[in-house]
Amino acid sequence: MKSQHISIVGTGYVGLCTAIGFASKGYKIITSTHNVERATSINRGVPPFYEPDLQETLLNVVRNGYLKCVLTREEAVLNTDVTFITVATPSQPDGTIDLRHIKSSAIEIGKALNKKDTYHLVVVKSTVVPGTTENMVKLLLEKHSNKHCGSDFGLCMNPEFLREGSALHDTLHPDRIIIGEHDKKSGDALDALYKEFYGEETLPTIRTNLPTAELIKYANNAFLATKISFINIIANICEKILGADITTVAESIGLDQRINPRFLRAGLGYGGSCFPKDVKALIAFSNQLGYIPTILQAVQEVNENQAKHAVEKAKEKLAELNGKRIAILGLSFKPNTDDMREAQSVPIINQLLNEGANVTAYDPVAIPNAKSIFKNKIIYASSPVECLTDADCCIIVTEWDEFKKLMAEDFTQNMRHPILIDGRRIYNPEEYSQKLEFVTIGLGQ
Ligand code: UDX
């Protein structure tokens, strides 16, 4: 029997994966959402989004009574000892984050705490700019509970680093734990919970104050985004030097242990629900403090240009795009997810459509989400071969394993003009450039 009952407010990637992670290790979990359809789906054991292994693990924990989803924060808080806040903090048009869900969650949790007699720990897991936990969450919790933070209830900020596509794995095997604590008692409580959860596996744990923990999340994502934009500019330089190859450059600099090889894959840039939003938010937040974070502005600019780069390459090959049929392989922002948020496929397809091209797209799982974005402006294929049929040019936008298995012949035999733009460096340039018109990222050709 685990020592704590846990509630999780918010059922997005972070919330649901954290919930399922705890439940799979024997914790009784109550998740909460105001979305009736979502709650019903979770209670039936059906995750509202695609993620490897999630479906079977969710079904298992729901059937065994370890996880349920309720519709009110109050029910979740009153029946548990710890509450994680994992609601979304989306971008606003000026780049700052929208804290509306954090606010409403803190109010509702505060009201529920007012009805509780025992100590309760509240943990902010959502990505929030420094100062939010202390100046917004704490104040709202105290105001609506009529209780004192530190003695009546605890408060921590505990950023999450899980990646989509391996969210459950990352939840169960994080690199480290960051505990931003309002006071020592709060930090001790969260530390004890994680020690019990991770058991013998001793994870590096950093205990710090609330704003430092909040900033760590932004610094982490901004640094990874910087690595990607950095390798993409080196890739662009490679393209101007005959024979220069970014994969060998990346492999070589990655062997320097001060650099390390991860997040040095050149391609069409980063997307997803975190990097674009977090880089933007950190820029906007710094600006508000009167500081211009020059590197981050460049990281963002390089990333936006990387999507255009794929279209430029198609244009160079086809002279003009008007009336041409372009096959897009891959729509999700990365493999193993159906998430289309800030996917590079979106600006690429929009630009192709603006230039008068006809677009056919295929993705193993993201087509339902893509339909809500592109409606009937593009054609959706049900297989890579159907997508390639009669195309004048193909762009690899997402590096799904399924595409890595395609042979040069799949392109030459099905396309009208076998022009292939490998935006993710998945094919062997020596072989493919002998068999078809082949252009790739970061290779001086
Ligand atoms: C990221 C962070 O990795 C994670 O710690 C945080 O909690 C949420 O944001 P995620 O967005 O799920 O996770 O995906 P990630 O694997 O980091 O990839 C982000 C984007 O960068 C993808 O579009 C991917 O294609 C791109 N990328 C990644 C590259 O272009 N090159 C690389 O070398 C690595």
Query: Given the DSSP bridges, would you call strands 393-396 and 379-380 parallel, antiparallel or unpaired?
Result: unpaired
Token code pair at residue 265:
């894959």
Each residue of 16-40: pLDDT tens digit? 999 999 999 999 999 999 999 999 9
Q: Ligand 1: does its nearest atom lie under 6 Å from the Cβ of 120?
A: no
Which of 163, 171, 173, 332 gets mutated to test ligand 1 (max ligand atoms within 8 A of its CB)? 163
CA–centroid distance, residue 270 to ligand 1 (Å): 7
At residue 435, what is the residue type? K
Q: Ligand 1: does its nearest atom lie under 6 Å from the Cβ of 270?
A: yes
Task: Point out the ligand 1 atom lying closest to the alpha carbon of residue 159.
Answer: 7
Which of 221, 275, 426 gets mutated to test ligand 1 (max ligand atoms within 8 A of its CB)? 275
Each residue of 318-364: pLDDT tens digit? 999 999 999 999 999 999 999 999 999 999 999 999 999 999 999 99
Each residue of 232-253: pLDDT tens digit? 999 999 999 999 999 999 999 9
CA–centroid distance, residue 350 to ligand 1 (Å): 22
Output the residue whose Cα is nearest ligand 1's atom 3. 163
pLDDT of residue 202: 76
Find out whether 363 and 330 touch, Cβ atoms under 8 Å: yes
Task: Point out the ligand 1 atom lying closest to the alpha carbon of residue 170.
Answer: 5
CA distance 341 to 185: 38
Token code pair at residue 310:
């794929």
Compute φ and ψ for 413, nearest 5 degrees. -80, -20
CA–centroid distance, residue 274 to ligand 1 (Å): 8
CA distance 67 to 29: 5
pLDDT of residue 77: 98
Radius of gyration of the chain (CA): 24
**Backbone dihedral region of 10: left (phi > 0), alpha (psi from -120 to 50 degrees) or beta?**
left
Report the greatest alpha carbon distance in the chain: 74
Find out whether 58 and 50 touch, Cβ atoms under 8 Å: no
Q: Ligand 1: does its nearest atom lie under 6 Å from the Cβ of 271?
A: yes
DSSP 8-state assignment for residue 383: S
Shortest CA distance to 442 belongs to which of 152, 236, 214? 236
Mean pLDDT rounded to a whole number for the chain: 96
Each residue of 430-445: pLDDT tens digit? 999 999 999 999 999 8
Q: Ligand 1: does its nearest atom lie under 6 Å from the Cβ of 267?
A: yes
pTM of the model: 0.95
Q: With bands split at pLDDT 50, 70 and 90, how would you rate the model's confidence at 42?
A: very high
Output the residue whose Cα is nearest ligand 1's atom 14. 163
Q: CA quadruple 91, 97, 100, 101: dihedral positive or negative?
A: positive
Each residue of 189-226: pLDDT tens digit? 999 999 999 987 679 999 999 999 999 999 999 999 99
pLDDT at 165 over 90: no
CA–centroid distance, residue 332 to ligand 1 (Å): 12
Q: For the chain, first and last CA: distance in Å?
A: 62
Active site residues: 274
Token code pair at residue 346:
């979106």
pLDDT of residue 169: 93
Each residue of 116-155: pLDDT tens digit? 999 999 999 999 999 999 999 999 999 999 999 999 999 9
CA distance 69 to 33: 7
The C-alpha angle with vertex 276 and arms to 274 and 277, in degrees rounded to 5, equals 65
pLDDT of residue 404: 98
Run of H or E residues at 16:
helix 13-24
Output the residue whose Cα is nearest ligand 1's atom 34. 263
Task: Point out the ligand 1 atom lying closest to the alpha carbon of residue 344.
Answer: 23
pLDDT of residue 415: 98
In order of 235, 309, 388, 419, the CA distances from 243 in angstroms are: 12, 19, 29, 20
Our measurement of the distance from residue 262's CA atom to the centroid of its chain's CA atoms, rounded to an integer in Å, reads 16
Compute φ and ψ for 178, nearest 5 degrees. -110, 120
Contacts of 406 (CB under 8 A, 6+ apart): 384
For residues 258-279, give the mean pLDDT.
Answer: 97
pLDDT of residue 3: 80
Find out whether 313 and 293 touch, Cβ atoms under 8 Å: no
How would you label 365-396 residue by residue, b for 16+ Cβ within 10 Å and e otherwise? bbbebbeebbeeebebbeebeebbbebbbbbb
CA–centroid distance, residue 225 to ligand 1 (Å): 8
Q: Ligand 1: does its nearest atom lie under 6 Å from the Cβ of 197?
A: no
CA–centroid distance, residue 396 to ligand 1 (Å): 17
Q: Ligand 1: does its nearest atom lie under 6 Å from the Cβ of 411?
A: no
Each residue of 397-420: pLDDT tens digit? 999 999 999 999 999 999 999 999
Per cent of the chain over pLDDT 90 is: 96
The dihedral over CA atoms of 245, 250, 255, 261, expressed in degrees to the nearest 10, equals -150
CA–centroid distance, residue 217 to ligand 1 (Å): 14
CA distance 188 to 83: 15
Output the residue whose Cα is nearest ligand 1's atom 21. 270
Each residue of 43-86: pLDDT tens digit? 999 999 888 889 999 999 999 999 999 999 999 999 999 999 99
